[in-house]
């Protein structure tokens, strides 16, 4: 079936899993399952921005190092980072050493604080963009990601283009883009059905 990959365990999964064995656990346990935790949402949005121009495998293999560098993506703590922290992170070989992307994570942490003050939680804001029907939307963008990207940029966020936001929405379960025939699709759909989106 088009769009599927069958691994050595005989399980059919989304075709992108074929690119790396690292992807299988991430695909089976995380990708497409709804997330409401603000820190995890901020982490993923940050890492999707850092991924820009790179492969997700590059970021996934460095994820634990990113978590160490950015204090578990606690945006209240990252918001206090200054120029000294930027310089320190630029010397950290465990992460992607790109000044603009590092500065974007810090900037976005401050913008996240503003959203929490306005909406009550980052989750309440993000889930407000959940598209009707929940997918699938197998493309690089969607009307929902374009709308969220536009609003985030208006609020001063960086590295949040519509393609980045769409990948974030796929990963965090706002849409279920597991391919038809993927063994995990039904589990992700059940998780979505049992999930109550927060209200802002």
Catalytic annotation present for 56: yes
CA distance 148 to 145: 5
Give the rounded distance of the alpha carbon of 122 from its chain centre: 13
Give the rounded distance of the alpha carbon of 167 from its chain centre: 7
Among candidate residues 16, 26, 103, 189, the one labeled active-site is: 26
Of residues 19, 68, 75, 52, the one with CA closest to residue 140:
52
CB 55 within 8 A of CB 96: no
Per DSSP, the three-state class of 4 is strand
Among candidate residues 23, 43, 48, 157, the one labeled active-site is: 48
Among candidate residues 23, 31, 43, 56, the one labeled active-site is: 56
Q: In the beta sheet, which residues pair with residue 13?
A: 5
Tally of CB atoms within 10 A around 35: 20
DSSP state of 126: H
Rg (CA), the chain: 17
Catalytic residue positions, numbered: 26, 48, 56
């Amino acid at each position: 079936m088009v769009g599927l990959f069958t691994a050595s365990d005989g399980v059919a999964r989304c075709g992108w899993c074929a690119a790396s064995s690292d992807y299988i656990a991430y695909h089976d346990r995380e990708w497409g399952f709804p997330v409401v935790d603000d820190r995890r949402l901020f982490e993923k949005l940050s890492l999707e921005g850092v991924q820009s121009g790179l492969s997700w495998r590059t970021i996934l293999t460095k994820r634990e190092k990113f978590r160490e560098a950015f204090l578990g993506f606690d945006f209240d703590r990252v918001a206090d980072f200054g120029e000294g922290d930027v310089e320190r992170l630029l010397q950290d070989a465990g992460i992607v050493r790109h000044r603009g992307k590092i500065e974007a994570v810090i900037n976005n942490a401050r913008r996240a604080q503003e959203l929490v003050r306005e909406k009550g939680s980052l989750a309440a804001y993000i889930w407000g963009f959940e598209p009707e029907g929940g997918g699938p939307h197998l493309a690089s963008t969607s009307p929902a990601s374009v709308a969220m990207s536009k609003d985030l940029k208006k609020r001063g966020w960086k590295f949040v283009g519509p393609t980045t936001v769409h990948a974030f929405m796929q990963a965090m379960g706002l849409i279920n883009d597991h391919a038809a025939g993927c063994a995990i699709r039904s589990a992700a759909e059940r998780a979505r059905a049992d999930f109550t989106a927060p209200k802002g």
